[in-house]
């Protein structure tokens, strides 16, 4: 029953994709502008549906960080509208000539950006992903099949209805964006195996979801893996700068994938840095867990275990390790990190460049918070996720990352001899 339901949505999205190919960028922009107006017009209804999800989340004992991810208030609704407006201002990458040349026999060859096709997107908690994913796919002339988490089912449902209305108003098939309105894991399995209709799957959520999709998919996967992000405070760090960056990376919004989960501190600066950071953390109610050397400085915090170095807390919890040097910091990050976002705070140019070159992550920072890893912040309009893959996309997945390419060859009667 569920298999047929999912396959039918995917099939209709594939059929709609070939129709969407006829639409020019202006019509797609009109859809996005219409959607922005509908979201603004229906914001009270959106908040009412979101309130249902928030109440259910509280009853199901979701953590404060996960409830924060789930919340849609006026500021976040405004952010969705601004994201749509920014996308309209950007140029679609579809049709861009990446390269071109002429052979000796006068064959003209062009390498051209084209949409991927139908993108399956599986996500948890954050209902704004519904708008980000749908709008990015449409702007890059892709169709999408969305499957949100059960935590946000009411919010996702009303947002998907507004997307379909915006498509209909502008003469495009409402099936350009399919929405799987069933939240059990079986629906995820069938979407991940719908390779007859789906061209790529983007899972974003908890480690369990990513693992399940990666192990079961017969469709290519662009992973939005866990965000186990580190900040390393080098011995040559500016102390005030280090305190501000580390505090922001952990506290500003702890329940998102680009928040810091492990703090690494050089042994030569630990005695000066950690007591001041402790005061800030205690004020923000951050639970600290430290290595043996950290506990010698901060005596009333919990001891970190091996499991803590592997944990994405998504909460006001932070593990701390004192390291001997830059080499140990890089080794720790490359061993435990998830290839998401990593940062060094230092005034030493050589150490900064060494960190940038040797840390294995999609986004690597010097003297800045990992919280900046975001497609909207990067000027990409929005993102479908942060890819921790090395192929075909890495880092924020925006418009260009939702395209592939084809070769267009123009001749005048040439035959191969």
Residue 301: predicted pLDDT: 97
Which three-class secondary structure string do you get for 116-138? CCEEEEEECCCCHHHHHHHHHHH
* Strand runs labelled E in 217-286: 229-233, 260-266
Q: Confidence band (pLDDT; 50, 70, 90) for 197?
A: very high
Residue 225: predicted pLDDT: 74
Non-local CB neighbours of 383 within 8 Å, separated by 6+ positions: 132, 136, 374, 375, 376, 396, 397, 398
pTM, full prediction: 0.88
Would you call 56 exposed, middle or buried from its count of C-beta atoms within 10 A (0-12, 13-18, 19+)? middle
Instruction: Check pLDDT > 80 for residue 416.
Output: yes
Instruction: Check pLDDT > 80 for residue 11.
Output: yes
Place of tokens 């280090």: 242
Percent over 90 (pLDDT), the chain: 88
pLDDT digits (tens, 9 = 90+) for 127-182: 999 999 999 999 999 999 999 999 999 999 999 999 999 999 999 999 999 999 98
pLDDT digits (tens, 9 = 90+) for 18-63: 999 999 999 999 999 999 999 999 999 999 999 999 999 999 998 8
DSSP characters over 205-216: S-HHHHHHHHHH
Q: Confidence band (pLDDT; 50, 70, 90) for 381?
A: confident
Q: What is the sign of the dihedral through the CA atoms of 334, 256, 231 and 365?
A: positive
**List of domains in the chain:** 2-224+384-410 (3.40.605.10), 229-372 (3.40.309.10)
* CA–CA separation, 198 and 203 (whole Å): 13
Whether omega for the bond prior to residue 162 falls within 30 degrees of 0, making it cis, is no
Partner residues linked to 108 by β-bridges = 102, 410
Residue 242: predicted pLDDT: 98
Residue 124: predicted pLDDT: 84
Q: For residue 227, what are its two tokens?
A: 């965000």
The mean pLDDT of 7-11, rounded to a whole number, is 97
Partner residues linked to 179 by β-bridges = 146
pLDDT digits (tens, 9 = 90+) for 244-292: 999 999 999 998 899 999 999 999 999 999 999 999 999 999 999 999 9
Cβ(222)–Cβ(397) below 8 Å: yes
Place of tokens 């952990």: 250
* Strand runs labelled E in 62-170: 97-102, 108-115, 118-123, 143-147
Q: For residue 250, what are its two tokens?
A: 């952990």
Residue 205: predicted pLDDT: 78
* CA–CA separation, 392 and 404 (whole Å): 9
Instruction: Check pLDDT > 90 for residue 390.
Output: no
Would you call 409 exposed, middle or buried from its count of C-beta atoms within 10 A (0-12, 13-18, 19+)? exposed
Percent over 70 (pLDDT), the chain: 100
* Beta-carbon count within 10 A of 328 CB: 16
**CA nearest 188: which of 387, 6, 402?**
6
What is the residue-averaged pLDDT of the chain? Answer: 95
Non-local CB neighbours of 274 within 8 Å, separated by 6+ positions: 265, 294, 297, 298, 320
pLDDT digits (tens, 9 = 90+) for 154-166: 999 999 999 999 9
The string over 74-104, giving b where at least 16 C-beta atoms fall within 10 Å of a residue's C-beta and e elsewhere, is eebbebbbebbebbbeeebbbeeeeeeeeee
pLDDT digits (tens, 9 = 90+) for 336-364: 999 999 999 999 999 999 999 999 999 99
Question: How many degrees, rounded to 5, is the angle at CA 287 between CA 285 and CA 289?
Answer: 155
CA 363, chain centre distance (Å): 12
Instruction: Check pLDDT > 80 for residue 206.
Output: no
Place of tokens 């050089």: 266
Q: For residue 152, what are its two tokens?
A: 């946000």
Q: For residue 70, what are its two tokens?
A: 């789930």
Q: For residue 93, what are its two tokens?
A: 């990458």
**CA nearest 320: which of 226, 231, 227, 228?**
231
Report how far apart, in Å, the C-alpha atoms of 134 and of each of 6, 40, 157, 345 are. 18, 17, 13, 37
Non-local CB neighbours of 280 within 8 Å, separated by 6+ positions: 243, 247
């Amino acid at each position: 029953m569920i298999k047929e339901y999912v396959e039918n949505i995917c099939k209709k999205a594939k059929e709609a994709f070939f129709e969407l190919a006829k639409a020019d960028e202006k019509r797609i922009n009109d859809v996005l502008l219409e959607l922005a107006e509908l979201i603004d017009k229906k914001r009270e209804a959106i908040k009412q549906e979101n309130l249902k999800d928030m109440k259910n989340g509280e009853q199901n004992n979701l953590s404060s960080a996960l409830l924060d991810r789930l919340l849609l208030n006026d500021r976040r609704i405004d952010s969705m509208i601004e994201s749509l407006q920014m996308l309209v201002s950007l140029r679609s990458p579809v049709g861009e000539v990446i390269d071109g040349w002429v052979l000796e026999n006068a064959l003209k060859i062009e390498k051209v950006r084209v949409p991927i096709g139908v993108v399956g997107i599986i996500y948890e908690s954050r209902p704004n992903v519904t708008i980000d994913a749908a709008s990015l796919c449409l702007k890059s002339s892709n169709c999408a099949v969305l499957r949100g988490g059960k935590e946000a089912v009411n919010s996702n449902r009303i947002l998907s209805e507004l997307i379909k209305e915006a498509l209909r108003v502008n003469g495009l098939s409402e099936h350009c964006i399919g929405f799987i309105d069933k939240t059990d894991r079986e629906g995820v399995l069938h979407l991940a195996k719908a390779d007859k209709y789906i061209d790529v799957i983007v899972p974003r959520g908890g480690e369990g979801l990513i693992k399940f999709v990666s192990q079961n998919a017969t469709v290519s996967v662009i992973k939005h893996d866990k965000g186990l992000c580190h900040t390393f405070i080098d011995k040559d760090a500016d102390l005030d700068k280090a305190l501000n960056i580390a505090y922001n990376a952990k506290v500003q919004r702890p329940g998102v994938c680009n928040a810091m989960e492990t703090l690494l501190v050089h042994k030569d600066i630990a005695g000066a840095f950690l007591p001041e950071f402790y005061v800030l953390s205690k004020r923000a109610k951050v639970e600290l867990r430290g290595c043996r050397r950290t506990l010698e400085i901060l005596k009333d915090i919990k001891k970190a275990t091996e499991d803590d170095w592997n944990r994405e807390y998504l909460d006001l919890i932070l593990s701390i390790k004192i390291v001997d040097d830059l080499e140990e910091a890089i080794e720790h990050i490359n061993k435990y990190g998830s290839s998401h976002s990593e940062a060094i705070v230092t005034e030493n140019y050589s150490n900064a460049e060494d960190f940038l070159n040797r840390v294995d992550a999609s986004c690597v920072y010097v003297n800045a918070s990992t919280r900046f890893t975001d497609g909207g912040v990067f000027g990409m309009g929005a993102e479908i996720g942060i890819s921790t893959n090395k192929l075909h996309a890495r880092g924020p997945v925006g418009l260009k990352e939702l395209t592939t390419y084809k070769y267009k060859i123009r001749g005048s009667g040439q035959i191969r001899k």
